[in-house]
Amino acid sequence: MPLKERLNTIEEALPSEVTLVVVSKFHSPEEIMEAYEAGVRNFGENLAQELIPKYEALPKDIHWHYIGGLQRNKVRQIISFVDLIHSVDSVRLYEEIVRRASMIPRCVDILIQVHIAQEETKGGFAQEEAKEAILALCNRTEDKPYRRIRGLMGMATLTEDSSQIKKEFSSLKKLFEEIKAHLPADEKTHFDTLSMGMSSDWELAVEEGSNLVRIGTAIMGKRRSRN
């Protein structure tokens, strides 16, 4: 099936309120242009050294999502153009993002990554810590011009067991609602994004309340890396 057909099939199945981010990591600018010509404007990458040349080479109306583990020393390189950082997994990373954004200055949208999977390799705040951390960050008035905390991101366990996956997604949705309910009014209005679901589990994620899915392989095809 050509890319455009794979894309159309998924777009038709997605409810209109769910944003599709096409994960283009390890795919060439030419392959990204094929998806762009088919109408995609949201792309996700997980390495700064790959994202930067793509940003430079490709049309400027693309929205770039940073979805991978982000080292603090790479923040400076992407902060001027990245649209949404999904993978804020520590207060120190948050602080570096705010510091670099304030130097431009600009306001950067971020998501707090929460660990919901059984695998230890997947990053993020522990579920019990995420709420406290976000409420504390929302008290940092001086940061507000430079960041908007837009919501949460999580990755489910890689398993065939769909009840396990659903359980993890529904716990993240619950946490999202719980945090949102406790946010101050000025933060609540833009806390609106729940990023969960990939090629293998996006349907389950949408059922459990995701409003942003990050889909790579099922649209772009196989990657030339196991990452």
- What is the distance between the alpha carbons of residues 87 and 103, in angstroms, rounded to a whole number? 21
The only residue of 68, 124, 151, 154 in contact with ligand PLP, by rule CB under 6 A: 68
Strand partners, 25: none
Neighbours of 75 (CB within 10 A): 22
Nearer to ligand PLP, 89 or 143 (CB): 89
* # residues near ligand PLP by CB under 6 A: 14
The only residue of 134, 198, 204, 206 in contact with ligand PLP, by rule CB under 6 A: 198
Nearer to ligand PLP, 146 or 169 (CB): 169
- The CB-nearest residue to ligand PLP is 216
Q: Shortest approach of ligand PLP to residue 77 CB, angstroms?
A: 19
User: Is residue 42 near ligand PLP by the rule CB under 6 A?
Assistant: no
Nearer to ligand PLP, 75 or 138 (CB): 75
Q: By CB under 6 A, which span of 9-17, 99-107, 175-183, 209-217 interacts with ligand PLP?
A: 209-217
Asked if residue 151 lies in contact with residue 191, where contact means CB atoms within 8 angstroms, the answer is yes
Q: Is the dihedral of CA 201, 207, 210, 212 positive or negative?
A: positive
User: Is residue 214 near ligand PLP by the rule CB under 6 A?
Assistant: yes
Q: Shortest approach of ligand PLP to residue 186 CB, angstroms?
A: 29
Q: By CB under 6 A, which span of 8-16, 102-110, 172-180, 197-205 interacts with ligand PLP?
A: 197-205
Per-residue binding letters, 136-175, with ligand PLP (x by CB under 6 A): -------------------x--------------------
What's the per-residue H, E or C state across the chain?
CCHHHHHHHHHHHCCCCCEEEEECCCCCHHHHHHHHHCCCCEEEECCHHHHHHHHHHCCCCCEEEECCCCCHHHHHHHCCCCCEEEEECCHHHHHHHHHHHHHCCCCEEEEEEEECCCCCCCCCEEHHHHHHHHHHHCCCHHHHHHEEEEEEEEECCCCCCHHHHHHHHHHHHHHHHHHHHHCCHHHHCCCCEEECCCCCCHHHHHHCCCCEEEECHHHHCCCCCCC
User: Is residue 32 near ligand PLP by the rule CB under 6 A?
Assistant: no
User: Is residue 67 near ligand PLP by the rule CB under 6 A?
Assistant: yes
User: Is residue 199 near ligand PLP by the rule CB under 6 A?
Assistant: yes
Q: Residue numbers of the site for ligand PLP (CB under 6 A)?
A: 23, 25, 46, 67-68, 155, 198-200, 214-218
